[in-house]
């Protein structure tokens, strides 16, 4: 068991392939203990859509040494801690945040949850109903569901475009055996990162991990390359009796390892990240065409997306879409000024610092990189790369991303003149 030591994080690789990362934060009296797995909804076959999310739910229902949901929750809440989990497209995480003197108990609990789940049949049937209620709530929230509609436009009939929670049919189809098989193939030690951030002794964490985790297991599962639906601008609309119309405009962007990703992050900040972005100041403040307007970037192994979203009055859909596209086109036509570039650099760097104030955020920072990227960068190293971006870099990446292939629109609202909206999906 060797350790690679940096100023910010110590890294160990155990004989079975488990990676242990410890980020000491001696000024804290708490610790976040987290297990990150390099698997998620992207790794699902069509008949098992939603299984990653269902497994996440079921791991809280009981394990070999923590035999019930109550026993699991009371173990952490009984010491004032927080226990939670999340499933994404390419990543699943289970974490506990506790006072540092309870760190070993938290790790013992998480290890047993993921390695020895009971998956009791009656609990599985109950949890299927909970998951389907969650799916229904997402569909009932148009401001959220419109993003799923856009994902289906960008990656049709493939895992990146599927709803993480699955479908009623695929959720109902899962069995105890299918869940156990998913855990076996996705939760092996070579596909796992144990991340501990906070008031922790790195050597002690590594020693406990070596006792708790197996020396062998399944290799990391494969994933299929994304098939981006390039071609003519595409549109998906749902007519619903809503007060607002929800627009989601976007298309393919860059992978998480693309050399231009830092320039894209700044381009996105210029366009629509924050209340001083161009979209907010122009579309909301000056034109009054949207109450909520912003943009964001998603990145995956081999693709990504840049998305502009707005909530508008239904009768303002067409002028609002025009205004959004004007700002997109401006970003690809004219270099940002040095003043604006300096502003967004400070904004992005400041948000990076603020986002790393607690141990859970630090844990996510390092473990996500360890599983999903070839580099393990400190916050300072990322900020150096952001600082190195030029106005020409921002212009270049804007021209690279904002092409006719990018012009896809998802819409939920009380009306939808699809022909008129489709006709407006163009760049100058």
**Reduced DSSP (H G I as helix, E B as strand, rest coil) percent helix, strand, coil of the chain, to 5:** 50, 20, 30
Note the helical H segments in 218-316. Answer: 261-272, 278-279
- Asked if 348 and 277 count as a contact pair (C-beta separation under 8 A), the reply is no
What's the CA gap between 20 and 189, in Å, rounded?
10
- Asked if 200 and 143 count as a contact pair (C-beta separation under 8 A), the reply is no
DSSP assignment letter at 117: B
**What are the CA-CA distances from residue 309 to residues 146, 339, 340, 418 (Å)?**
9, 26, 22, 18
Indicate the burial class of 47 (C-beta count within 10 angstroms; 0-12, 13-18, 19 or more). exposed
What's the CA gap between 179 and 55, in Å, rounded?
6
3-state secondary structure of 182: helix
Provide the 10 A C-beta neighbour count for residue 221: 16
**What are the CA-CA distances from residue 50 to residues 134, 191, 217, 224 (Å)?**
12, 20, 23, 17
Residues 6+ apart with CB under 8 A from 66: 72, 75, 109, 112, 113
3-state secondary structure of 309: strand
Comparing CA positions, the residue from 99, 73, 74, 92 lying closest to residue 34 is 92
Active site amino acids: 56
Indicate the burial class of 28 (C-beta count within 10 angstroms; 0-12, 13-18, 19 or more). middle
């Amino acid at each position: 068991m060797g350790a690679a030591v940096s100023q910010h994080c110590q890294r160990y690789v155990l004989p079975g392939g488990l990676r242990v990362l410890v980020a000491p934060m001696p000024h804290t009296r708490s610790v976040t203990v987290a297990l990150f797995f390099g698997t998620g909804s992207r790794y699902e076959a069509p008949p098992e859509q939603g299984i990653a999310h269902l497994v996440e739910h079921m791991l809280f229902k009981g394990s070999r040494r923590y035999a019930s949901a109550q026993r699991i929750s009371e173990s952490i809440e009984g010491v004032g801690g927080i226990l939670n989990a999340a499933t994404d497209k390419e990543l699943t995480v289970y974490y506990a945040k506790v006072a540092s003197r309870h760190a070993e108990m938290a790790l013992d609990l998480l290890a047993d949850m993921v390695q020895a789940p009971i998956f009791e049949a009656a609990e599985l049937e109950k949890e299927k109903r909970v998951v389907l209620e969650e799916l229904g709530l997402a569909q009932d929230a148009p401001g959220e569901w419109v993003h799923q509609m856009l994902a289906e436009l960008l990656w049709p009939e493939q895992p990146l475009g599927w709803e993480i929670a699955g479908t009623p049919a695929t959720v109902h189809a899962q069995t105890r055996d299918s869940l156990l098989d998913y855990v076996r193939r996705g939760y092996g030690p070579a596909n796992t990162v144990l991340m501990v951030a906070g008031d922790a002794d790195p050597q002690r964490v590594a020693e406990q991990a070596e006792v708790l985790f197996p020396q062998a297991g399944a290799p990391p599962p494969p994933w299929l390359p994304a098939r981006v639906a390039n071609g003519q601008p595409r549109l998906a609309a749902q007519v619903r009796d809503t007060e607002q119309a929800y627009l989601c405009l976007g298309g393919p962007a860059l992978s998480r390892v693309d050399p231009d990703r830092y320039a894209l992050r700044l381009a996105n900040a210029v366009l629509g990240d924050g209340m001083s972005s161009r979209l907010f100041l122009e579309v909301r403040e000056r034109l009054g065409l949207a109450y909520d307007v912003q943009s964001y970037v998603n990145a995956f192994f081999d693709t990504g997306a840049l998305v502009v979203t707005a909530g508008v009055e239904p009768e303002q859909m067409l002028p609002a879409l025009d205004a959004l596209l004007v700002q997109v086109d401006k970003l690809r036509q004219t270099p940002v000024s040095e003043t604006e570039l300096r502003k967004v650099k400070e904004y992005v760097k400041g948000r990076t610092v603020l986002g790393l104030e607690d141990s859970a955020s630090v844990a996510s920072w390092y473990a996500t990189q360890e599983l999903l990227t070839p580099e393990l960068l400190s916050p300072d190293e990322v900020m150096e790369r952001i600082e190195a971006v030029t106005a020409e870099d921002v212009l270049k990446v804007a021209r690279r991303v904002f092409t006719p292939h990018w012009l896809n629109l998802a819409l939920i609202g009380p009306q939808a003149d699809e022909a008129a909206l489709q006709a407006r999906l163009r760049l100058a």
